[in-house]
Structure 1
Amino acid sequence: MKKIIYLIALIVALSCVEATAQMTISAEVRPRTEFRNGFKTLTEDSKDASFFTEQRSRLYLDYADSAFKFRVSFQDIRIWGETTQIFKEEYGKTFLSEAWGQYYFTPSLSVKVGRQIISYDNQRFLGGLEWAQQGRRHDALLLMYEQNKTKLHFGLAYNQDDDVPEQAFLQAPGAGYYSVGGSYKTFQYGYFNKGFENGSLSLLAFNAGYQNPDTTVSFKQTWGVVASKKLAGISLAGDFYYQTGELGKNKVNALLAGINATFTTPVTPLTFGVEYISGKDDDDTSSDITAFSPDFGTNHAHNGYMDYFYVGPANGSVGVTDLYLKTSFNVAGGALKTNIHQFMTGSTQLDTEGQELSKTMGTEVDLVFIKKLKGGVVWNLGYSQMFASDTMEALRGGDKSALQCWAWTMITFKPTFFTSK
């Protein structure tokens, strides 16, 4: 704690020295209480529901002058009650959320290096995952060109273990081996975005390297196109991603494609959309990976809030076709978001007798009430329910006839303590 206080004092002092510098100290406290009974996968009557409160607490330190920007963000994530009331030490859950600096060669050209959020467009493939209390961060370097309505970014990262002493870690057989599960060893990407009068176009080329058990590295490429356009009161948006390359010795050949249209009505906007994410057929005996993986996206924002798909290990290689309707109503001084999803498999799946299962997996209804309170405080109240099919039960287990629901409430405080002039 003393180190944090010293760092705050140092940055405040620096902001006083440079007249053109600006210093901001802000924070966030966000407790979320959840009732889970069929969240992420089907439950059954013999299983108890869970009820808990998880809290995120953050402290942001931002500094900027004419030459560079700088941010350090500290974060604490915990479940209420997991630490005793009186303690001398606890398991560490306070850690660095962000720590980066951005240097400007010119007003349009900069380099950003450090622990940072990488998020683009609808966050389908690259997103901050801020719904999750911990969020998603990358240790990376970005070269960024931004002028008018044009963005051109190049990013790279290289990850390494530190589970052996430094001397052996730097110079030894296998010193370059990366053993952190679920993460890439290296990536390189290029991102282009162009804004137009009534729309935008984004292009992404992302190359990720994953460590193999034999110390080699396999590379998977993801190519993406994201576009939007407004036409005569209708907003159209779509995205297409294709994955190729290899994972281990398996070839990758997978895709994601989605399109939606938003219509403005006198009562409420209506968004109709469909998204297809490829899976792997049960009768496909090849070693090819045909199930698309939105590896670094904010997946909670897509395919239903109950997180049945692409959050954690859920859904395996089944894939999904998602038909959805989204709208929002003004209610009691706030907004009531209403989403309905019809889920089908993104591949051919078989039952235990080898017969093809129906593609229909179920229908999910999501309701979220959002209200802004005094002082910029935001309150959320949500309820979701899954109406599962026989196919969902066959693929996931559980009991589709049991009540499959999720309820939650969250309040967010984001005060700014200090801003220099």
Structure 2
Amino acid sequence: MKQLIYTALILLLTTNFEVFSQDFKMSAEIRPRSEFRNGFKKLRTDSSTPAFFTEQRSRLNLDYSSDKVIMRLSLQDVRMWGETDQIYKSDPAMTTISEAWAQYNFTSKFGLKVGRQIISYDNQRFLGGLEWAQQGRRHDAALFIFDDKAKKFKIHAGLAYNQNGVEPKKVEGNVYLGTNNYKAMQYLWAHKDWEGGAVSGLVFNESYQYGSTTDSVSQRQTLGVVGSKKFGILKVAGEGYYQTGQRGTADVNAYLLDLNFTAKTKLTPITLGYQILSGGDPASGEVTNFTPAYGTNHKFNGFMDYFYVGNPHNDAIGNNVGLQDIYLNTQFKIGKGTLKAQLHQFLAATDVVKSVSSDGVQEIVDGNLGTEIDLVYVNKLSPVATLMVGYSQMFGTSSMEVLKGGDSGLINNWAFVMLTFKPTLFKTKSAN
């Protein structure tokens, strides 16, 4: 990987860009983020000690475009400050290719995009780039694009087929193990804008390898609709998803619903909303808890990542209790910056089992899980530099202790400071 990066840089720095008859741009991103974690993702205990660290993302982006071809190569390094010696030869940091894709436009409306790419739609609830995480989320996929700008209508059809690493002598078999990826996926997304409103529809199929034989593959489908409409100063938005198919050998029957209202006032916009993600039902024998599998989940259900961000929220019998989230969002101008505020009231979407007696009687506790407050200040320092400062606090309940352990009576909070630098290093533009 390092040799590839060095070779690309040498070629770029020794190229006479006057020979380019197309558009080319080189840009960069440096994004260090320092975090104080004191009850992040789970409630702390008396013996817990806070964590403090700085993680940095560095990217070098190369973009090329012509009438027919668009290409992007993004080289990325993610590292924790101090994880290597000041003088070292080996590097445990994650230096990778973030994006490597090319798009060919057959016409002004139709194109094909192939390679490692971000797949992100609408509010990123189900499909998102996960750019809050320093590494982001990427798919190796082919994407057919239809975009009629005059009619404000788009259709995307994507597909992928994943396989384990380089194996030149492989002549048979397609078992895909050892990763958290889907084995294959296909989807269709359509979007329409009109005056004061928009609507999108998604049909997404994913194949998962759950055993070591070729035929041990399950198929899960997610169907979704996302829409919004303005009525004067009021904007109404909502989304609904339904999951069906199979996960392993179990049938899937799960849903997500969200409805919110945003009113523009003289001082600030105010959003009030309700979201529910279905929980598990062990007695049914089905998978009834909804999974927002590929979204930017940090964006939803509180910034302290208690739910759907790589960590379970299961009760004493191992059941995912789903989630209800009543939320209030607003933002204020403060000087040259903006203060964003969110309030979340969390409740379980199904029974929370605290314990099971020797004779099988379950102790059910209250479904109120707690309240979270999120504050984020954003200040664009210059055209290429942005400062973001955040503070969050979770006021958990004894029912949250059942799901997350820890002590809800202790202070559980999280804070961060993030600087983002995104300059354009240089660019060329054709004379045509």
The 5-angstrom pairing of residues 338-349 of structure 1 reads: 338-349=341-352
Asked if structure 2 preserves the Cα contact closer than 8 Å seen for 1:340 and 1:363, the reply is: yes
Displacement after TM superposition at 1:396 (Å): 1.4
What are the within-5 Å matches in structure 2 for residues 67-86 of structure 1? 67-86=68-87
CA distance in 1, matches of 2:168, 2:212: 22
Q: SS where residue 352 of structure 1 aligns?
A: strand
Residues in 1 aligned to 2:299 and 2:164: alpha-carbon distance in whole angstroms: 32
Given that 2:175 and 2:212 are in contact with CA atoms closer than 8 Å, whether structure 1 keeps it comes out as no
Confirm or deny that 1:125 pairs with 2:126.
Answer: yes
Aligned: 1:392 with 2:393: no
Q: Which runs of 5+ in 1 are unaligned?
A: none
User: How far apart are residue 104 of structure 1 and its match?
Assistant: 0.4
* Residue equivalent to 1:220: 220
Q: Which amino acid aligns with 1:204?
A: L
Aligned to 2:353: 350
Q: How far is the alpha carbon of 1:206 from its aligned partner?
A: 0.2
The answer on whether the counterparts of 1:11 and 1:63 sit within 8 Å (CA) in structure 2 is no
In structure 2, what is the Cα distance between the partners aligned to 1:229 and 1:218?
37
TM-score normalised over the length of structure 2: 0.93
Give CA deviations for 1:264-293 in whole Å, capped at 9, x if unaligned.
111111000000000114xx3232000000
- Equivalent residues of 1:15, 1:22 under 8 A apart: no
Q: Measure how far apart 1:11 and its partner are.
A: 6.0
- Equivalences for residues 166-181 of structure 1 within 5 A: 166-167=168-169, 170-172=170-172, 175-181=173-179
One-letter identity of the residue aligned with 1:114? G
- Report the CA distance between 1:419 and its aligned residue: 0.9
Deviations 1:98-153 (A, max 9, x none): 00000000011000000000000000000000000000000000000001211001
* Deviates further, 38-47 or 336-345: 38-47
**By how many angstroms is 1:332 displaced?**
2.7
2:300 equivalent in structure 1: 302
2:387 equivalent among 372, 379, 383: 379
Instruction: Give TM-score, length-normalised by structure 1.
Output: 0.95
Cα distance between partner residues in 1 of 2:283 and 2:6: 59
What fraction of aligned residue pairs are identical, expressed as a percent?
A: 48
Look up the match of 2:359.
none
Opposite residue 220 of structure 1, the aligned amino acid is R
Aligned residues: 413
For 2:331, the equivalent position in structure 1 comes to: 328
> Is the 2:79–2:93 contact (alpha carbons within 8 Å) kept by the matching residues of 1?
no
Listed one character per residue, the Cα deviations across residues 277-319 of structure 1 (whole Å, up to 9, x for unaligned) are: 00114xx323200000000000000000000010002324211
Displacement, 1:356? 1.8
Query: Using the alignment, how far apart are the partners of 2:174 and 2:51 within structure 1?
Result: 42
CA contact under 8 A between 1:274 and 1:321: conserved in structure 2? yes
Task: Please tell me the residue identity of whatever aligns with 1:259.
Answer: L
SS at match of 2:285: coil
Q: Show structure 2 runs of 5+ residues with no match.
A: 315-319, 357-361
8 Å CA contact retained: 1:280, 1:347: yes
Q: Distance in 2 between matches of 1:47 and 1:189?
A: 44
Q: Is the 8 A contact 1:41 1:314 kept in 2?
A: no
Residue in structure 2 matching 1:420, options 417, 423, 428:
428
- Looking at structure 2, the residues matched to 303 and 369 of structure 1 have their Cα atoms a distance apart, in angstroms, of 19
Equivalence for 2:317: none
1:64-114, Cα deviation, whole Å (9 max, x unpaired): 011100000000001100001111122251110000000000011000000
CA offset digits 1:35-65 (Å, max 9, x no partner): 0011011111211110000000000000001
Shift of 1:16: 3.5
Which structure 2 residues correspond to residues 240-279 of structure 1 after superposition, within 5 A? 240-279=240-279
